[in-house]
Amino acid sequence: MTQIVFFILSLGTIIGALGTILCKNAYYSAMWMISAFVSLAGLFVMLNAPFVAMLQIIVYAGAIAILILFVMMLMDRRVLNNKQRFNPQYFWGIILGVGLFSDLAVLAFKFRINISNAGKSLTLHGSNTKMVGDVLFKHYLFPFEIIAIILLIALIGAIVLTKKDEEEAR
């Protein structure tokens, strides 16, 4: 049963990823990307990480993909879907991608760890979210505040980049 569900979900992920990079129309690419993200959320549920699965749906499929679709909606569709889909040197790109995958696959086959405590200590009082909160706010204090600064810089950077142009145009 677990094997079948894993197979369906991973197939959805891989097909979604392939559709993202192969579709000619950028809107279809975004839709395939959303399907890959949702299948990946299913895989996260199988790995006993329901909080992260919900985060995947809320943040990736709900915010990032919608932001990308929103920007595409504002653009001229003839500019968006230009004639040439691939670079002229796409052959070498594919070779490099296949090489990267075989490299990682060899590493994965050689990888050995002790999996005796698989699936343990992921919950606190029967809740994964509680465990994440406990470890996040007790052991990862400093990275957490750094994330706030990264979000602040991203907000300021995006406003500075777009606002300057608007004032010039006026």
Partner 1 sequence: MLIEYMIVSALLFAIGATGAMIRRNFIVILMSLELMLNGAGMLLITMSYYLGNVSGQIMFIFVAAVAASETAIGLAIVVMMYKRKGSIDINDFSMLKK
Partner 2 sequence: MLEWLTAGVTVFITVILFAVILGLALYLSPKRDYFVKSQVYECGIFPVAEISNFNIRFFIIAIIFTLFDIEAVFLYPWAVDFKGLGMLGVIEMFLFLFLVFVGWIYAYKKGALEWQ
CA pair distance 60, 68, nearest whole angstrom? 11
Residue from 110, 117, 166, 168 binding partner 2 (CB under 8 A) = 166
Give, to the nearest 10 degrees, the angle between helix 141-169 and helix 128-139.
Answer: 90
Enumerate residues 6+ apart whose C-beta is below 8 A from 72. 26, 27, 30, 80
**Interaction between residue 18 and partner 1 (CB under 8 A):** yes
At residue 162, what is the residue type? T
Among 74, 107, 108, 115, binds partner 2 (CB under 8 A): 74
Q: Is residue 7 at the binding interface for partner 2, with CB under 8 A as the rule?
A: no
With CB under 5 to 8 Å by kind, the binding choice for 149 among partner 1, partner 2, none is partner 2
DSSP 121: S
Give the dihedral sign, CA 121/45/38/40.
positive
Residues 115-134 contacting partner 2, CB under 8 A: 124, 127, 129-130, 132-134
**127: partner contacted, choices partner 1, partner 2, none (Cβ within 5-8 A by kind):** partner 2
> Which of partner 1, partner 2, none does residue 142 bind to, with CB < 5 to 8 Å depending on kind?
none
141: contact with partner 1 by CB under 8 A: no
CB of 37 closer than 8 Å to CB of 56 = yes
Which residue of 21, 103, 137, 143 would you call a contact of partner 2, by CB under 8 A?
137
**Based on CB atoms, which residue is closest to partner 2, 4 or 107?**
4
156 binds partner 2 (CB under 8 A): yes
73 binds partner 1 per the rule CB under 8 A: no
Distance CA 127, CA 145 (A): 24
Which among 112, 134, 116 is positioned nearest to 124, based on CA atoms?
134
- Select 100 or 141, whichever has its Cβ closest to partner 2: 141
